[in-house]
Structure 1
Amino acid sequence: MAARLAASTLLPVNATLGAVLAVLLVTAAGVAAWARLAPDRGRGRAREIVIAGVRAAVQLAAVSALIGWVVRSLPLLFCFLVLMYAVAVRTAGRRITRNRTWWWVALPIGAGVAPVVAALLLTGLVPVKGIALIPVTGILIGGALTATVLGGRRALDELAARRGEVEAGMAIGLLDREARLEVAGPAASDALLPGLDQTRTVGLVTLPGSFVGMLLGGASPLQAGAVQLFVLVALMAVQAIAVAVVVELVARGRLHRDEPSRTLGGAEGE
């Protein structure tokens, strides 16, 4: 009975849903193009929005078709989790920098997600089953990806804009890493704000997907609230670790946009 009730409250998968999704996607792209919401004031973001929407549809269709097989086999389950991680690393890395250092973002994402997932498995809070492990790990990887991108981009942007302050810090005796941290650290900390705001306002402003999904699946409000609290707190831990590690990589010159100059490139030889 609960399953039938939950199914009846979900979005129907039909032509109407497809039409509404298409209108929303065109609206998002149109507004981005009209307002020129791009770093170069061009219309590149509109194209990215369309591509992202189409990719999401294709990828979700593929995952929906494969998920039944994946959850029944441990080897396939772990291969799927590795694929999720690899895609997140590639996406975050190329969003931060276009040079060969992009692969360093594997560290902040892995350092944030791995210990949290390991703790959940060891304590038995999350069973080694695809139906539980995939969504939980996916949420954590997605949070680490977002925090890494925001933290890395803000840190590198600030270093480029305040290069003189970094050089001044080095001139008064600070090490390269210390001088970069003084500039990059405070800026990168802004990457934690979305997660903090979501956690502070949960239940008052927003009802996140985990909470709503469990209610639709027949769980009690108490169970749904407990799961959502767990997700939000775990995300804050993952994102804090990811931002701390990506800032350290930037400060050490491991993750950068241009080849470090001789003045600021001492970290290469550390």
Structure 2
Amino acid sequence: MWFGAGLLVLVAATCLVGWRSGVGLGWSPLTSLARAVLQLSVVAVLLRGILSVPGTVVAFLALMLATASWTASGRLRELWHGRRAAVAGVAAGAAVALTSIFLLRLVDLEVRYLVAVAGIIIGSAMSAATLAGRNFLRGCRHRRDEIEAWLSLGATPARAHLDIGQEAVRESLLANLDQTRSTGLVTLPGAFVGALFGGASPAEAARFQLVVLAGIALSMTVCGVLVTRLLGRSPYVLGATADER
């Protein structure tokens, strides 16, 4: 009872600060937390079955990937083929990172490790798709004259949007790189703390966290690059109105 009340206090404070500062969050913090409570409750039940019947892990991973792709694609729907770019980016980023981690035997290929690492990696790829795509759209709007100049000189859409895409990817990675740099001094990431709570030694927890951090960086970079390259193929000047195209 007290736990639920405490969560409500935290989310109410978030809504209040957002409202008073004019950020425009509305009730999103509350609805997001409510959705998280529901989803975690369902996942907790599913994981019991997955851990006891390993063959079901494939279906669970597919569910995570589909949900992440759907969420990211919704954020990029106003961009040219934004939904497709988001799905491709999330899938490619997660696949490359997870395949590399387990092929290099950085983590044992066991169901519990696969689910834990995949959840983190897929979630990071989802964030990268959203951040890179939104930064790309913002850059196109601010540097529209530059894009039009490239196109007028006969450049392909991919070349006209290349610099903007590269900047968008860099911006999308900054927060993750800062967290990686400060790990252990400023932050104790969830994978590290979770491993400790699970009974691992500090050294084992640190190794697991380093694998996760490296995997996150790889998945986000692959995802961001692919998303912006696909968006950069647009035959239109992104950010222009329908009448101007």
- TM-score w.r.t. length of structure 1: 0.83
Deviating more after overlay: 100-109 vs 46-55: 100-109
Measured against aligned partners, the alpha-carbon deviations of 1:155-191 in whole angstroms (never above 9, x if no partner) come to 0111122211100122233222111112332133200
How far apart are the structure 1 equivalents of 2:42 and 2:237?
34
Check whether the contact 1:249–1:255 (CA below 8 A) recurs between aligned residues.
Answer: no
Cα distance change, pair 255–21 in 1 and its aligned pair in 2 (3 A): farther
Structure 1 residues 107-122: aligned runs within 5 Å: 107-122=88-103
How far apart are the structure 1 equivalents of 2:19 and 2:236?
31
From 203, 216, 220, the equivalent of 1:239 is 220
1:136 Cα deviation from its structure 2 partner: 0.4
1:202 Cα deviation from its structure 2 partner: 0.4
Identity %: 32
* 1:82 aligned partner, one-letter code: A
From 55, 61, 65, the equivalent of 2:41 is 61
Measured against aligned partners, the alpha-carbon deviations of 1:172-223 in whole angstroms (never above 9, x if no partner) come to 3322211111233213320000110011000110011111112222211111
2:206 maps to 1:220: no
Please give the secondary structure, in 2, of the residue aligned with 1:218.
coil
Structure 1 residues 1-270: aligned runs within 5 Å: 15-38=1-24, 45-98=25-78, 101-253=82-234
Please give the secondary structure, in 2, of the residue aligned with 1:46.
coil
Cα distance change, pair 198–186 in 1 and its aligned pair in 2 (3 A): same
* 1:188 aligned partner, one-letter code: V
Cα distance change, pair 78–150 in 1 and its aligned pair in 2 (3 A): same
How far apart are the structure 2 equivalents of 1:222 and 1:246?
36
> Structure 1: where are the runs of 5+ without partners?
1-14, 39-44, 265-270
Cα distance change, pair 260–181 in 1 and its aligned pair in 2 (3 A): farther
1:263 Cα deviation from its structure 2 partner: 8.6
Aligned residue pair count: 244
Measured against aligned partners, the alpha-carbon deviations of 1:91-138 in whole angstroms (never above 9, x if no partner) come to 011012247641331111111111221233334443443211111000
How far apart are the structure 1 equivalents of 2:35 and 2:238?
27
Please give the secondary structure, in 1, of the residue aligned with 2:41.
helix
Check whether the contact 2:147–2:237 (CA below 8 A) recurs between aligned residues.
Answer: no
Please give the secondary structure, in 2, of the residue aligned with 1:69.
helix
Cα distance change, pair 85–255 in 1 and its aligned pair in 2 (3 A): farther
Cα distance change, pair 171–259 in 1 and its aligned pair in 2 (3 A): closer
How far apart are the structure 2 equivalents of 1:117 and 1:85?
12
Check whether the contact 2:76–2:82 (CA below 8 A) recurs between aligned residues.
Answer: no
Higher Rg: 1
Check whether the contact 2:165–2:225 (CA below 8 A) recurs between aligned residues.
Answer: no
* 1:76 aligned partner, one-letter code: T
